[in-house]
């Protein structure tokens, strides 16, 4: 629903800004998801999977490529604010850009600062040596 109103906001300014921010984060997740599909298909091609995209590698690249291009285009368009918003372009782009970068970097920082005991528990849980 939020992606339908992505380009035309007739809502409050704060909601519209946060909606655009959320849509961008979802689109980045789709980029990772489609990239992981391609990577896993090459990494372990003989694994039995519940669903495979028809058409072999060509079909997979077509679906993933179209999805990635569409996501990248939507992210690009998302940096252009609707004319109804009272924000200046610099603020809008700065808020979205810094918010997306922070949302991508912060989990990595938290993961890097985890306790050593957490690492052992994860290895034991997943039987990793």
Domain range for 64 is: 13-125
Surface-to-core class of residue 122, CB atoms within 10 Å of its CB (0-12 exposed, 13-18 middle, 19+ buried): exposed
Surface-to-core class of residue 124, CB atoms within 10 Å of its CB (0-12 exposed, 13-18 middle, 19+ buried): exposed
Quick check: is 8 in a domain? no
Check if the beta carbon of residue 66 is closer than 8 Å to that of residue 36. no
Quick check: is 3 in a domain? no
Quick check: is 29 in a domain? yes
In sequence order, which residues have a C-beta less than 8 Å from that of residue 92 and are 6 or more positions away?
17, 79, 81, 85
Query: DSSP character for 37?
Result: H
Separation of alpha carbons 122 and 35, rounded Å: 25
Quick check: is 6 in a domain? no
Q: pLDDT for 65-108, tens place per residue?
A: 999 999 999 999 999 888 877 888 898 899 999 999 999 999 99
Measured CA distances, 104 to 66, 82, 108, 109 (Å): 23, 25, 7, 10
Quick check: is 7 in a domain? no
Q: pLDDT for 36-48, tens place per residue?
A: 999 999 998 888 8
Q: Residue 1 — pLDDT band, cuts 50, 70, 90?
A: very low
Quick check: is 33 in a domain? yes
- Number of domains within the chain: 1
Quick check: is 42 in a domain? yes
pTM: 0.75
């Amino acid at each position: 629903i939020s992606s339908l109103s992505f380009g035309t906001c007739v809502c409050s300014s704060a909601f519209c800004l946060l909606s655009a921010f959320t849509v961008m984060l979802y689109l980045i997740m789709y980029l990772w998801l489609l990239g992981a599909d391609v990577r896993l298909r090459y990494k372990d091609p003989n694994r039995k999977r519940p669903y495979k995209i028809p058409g072999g590698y060509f079909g997979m690249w077509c679906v993933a490529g179209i999805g990635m291009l569409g996501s990248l285009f939507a992210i690009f368009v998302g940096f252009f604010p609707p004319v109804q918003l009272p924000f200046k372009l610099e603020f809008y782009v700065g808020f979205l850009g810094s918010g997306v970068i922070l949302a991508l970097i912060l989990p990595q920082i938290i993961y890097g600062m985890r306790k050593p005991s957490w690492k052992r528990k994860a290895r034991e849980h997943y039987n990793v040596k």
